[in-house]
Amino acid sequence: MNKRVVVTGLGVVSSIGIGKDAFWDALVKGKSGISKIDSFDTSVFPTHSGGEVKDFQVEKKTFGRASALAVSAARMALCDAGLELEKLGPERFGLAIGTTMGESQILEEINHAWIKDGHEAIDARLIPLYPANVLGVNVAGEFKLKGENFVIPCACAAGNYCIGYAFDLIRYGRADKMLAIGADAFARLAFIGFNRLYAIAPEKCQPFDKNRKGMMVGEGAGALLLEPLEAALARKAGIYAEVLGYGLSCDARHMTAPLARGIAKAIEKSLKQSNIQPQDVDYISAHGTGTPANDSEECAAIKKVFPRNYKSIAISSIKSMLGHTMGAASSIEAISCCLSVKNDIIPPTINYETPDEDCDIDCVPNFGRRQKVEVALNNASAFGGNNACVVFKKYGAS
């Protein structure tokens, strides 16, 4: 069996908007979600801004923030797909959810209590809330999904890994529907870590700019509902895009330094599986963190795969607006790709000021663009050299 797989539902929680419509409107207008951090005191750090979701509250005491973000995005994707919760057919409805930090805020709360007053001060109710597997447990429990349930903690490429896994389960007939989700809450640990690596920009994220100074830590969740094409047509569902294939690679070289060769390998694998030629690609959603090394290596990889036409491909980084949402990043970026394919609009790379000869691409600087998008690639890379690329195509395009 090799069924065609389509995306019929989208849900997103982000610093620029909650829900696909608010998110997309802000994205194409180039609005920034970066603001002063207020979830903890940053006075001892050299940077003080990030992509927090300000108007989101955790309602269930049995959920950590990452689970709450994931459940909210999943509910929106199910509703957007027109699925009635009581008619989901739970036995063959699966879930793949990606994360970097898991429920890091819960772990931070436990750690704080332990350091301050000793281990007896730890609220025992927190203990079962923080292992990374609870993200899958909580989403499945909320919607009574009884199919295959996987948490893929593949760091900042996790969202793409989940889409690829969900794609495989559906096309080989092992699931009727799949939620592919990425989720991470704003983490003090990540903020400290990236500050220690001198990887956070002091004021703004400037992907592909010659004077880029780093990334911004963010948070959020993105959920995509995938199902077989014939099932979507049978129930007259709206189709955002068709998933054609994906490619994975591992540099197996360095924990934090990206490698152009490895990124290129993932892109090449995705094109081969999708039966897509380099000249067929209209848009690439870049990993585009805004760090000097990442952007240079990613551009080098793109030039390797697209030597003849890389300058004619629109390539933008929405992290310039959202910050880096860790395990949610490539899920939210996949949603952006689906909406670009559906609406023929490409979101911009904001904060772009000075061209860089190493990044001589069309980065759609500062303003969104109306342009035909039949094929979009979603790039993602992660610590440890894990790379993933997913290919989306406009349904019905030749």
Catalytic residue among 154, 156, 338, 389: 156
Give yes or no: 154 in active site. no
At a CB cut-off of 8 Å and minimum separation 6, what does 263 contact? Answer: 249, 287, 297, 298, 301, 379, 381, 387
Check: CB of residue 365 under 8 Å from CB of residue 209.
no
Catalytic residue among 154, 162, 287, 337: 287
Rg of the chain's alpha carbons, rounded to an integer?
Answer: 20
At a CB cut-off of 8 Å and minimum separation 6, what does 41 contact? Answer: none
Residue 215, amino acid: M
Distance, in Å, from the CA atom of 198 to the CA atom of 47, rounded to the nearest integer, reads: 10
Q: Smallest Cα–Cα separation from 382: which of 84, 171, 161, 57?
A: 161
CA distances from 248 to 15, 78, 111, 164 (A): 28, 27, 35, 9
How many helices and strands in the chain, by DSSP H and E? Answer: 11, 15
Catalytic residue among 324, 337, 359, 363: 324
Give yes or no: 254 in active site. no
Give yes or no: 324 in active site. yes
Residue 277, amino acid: Q
Residues annotated as catalytic (active site), given as ranges: 156, 287, 324
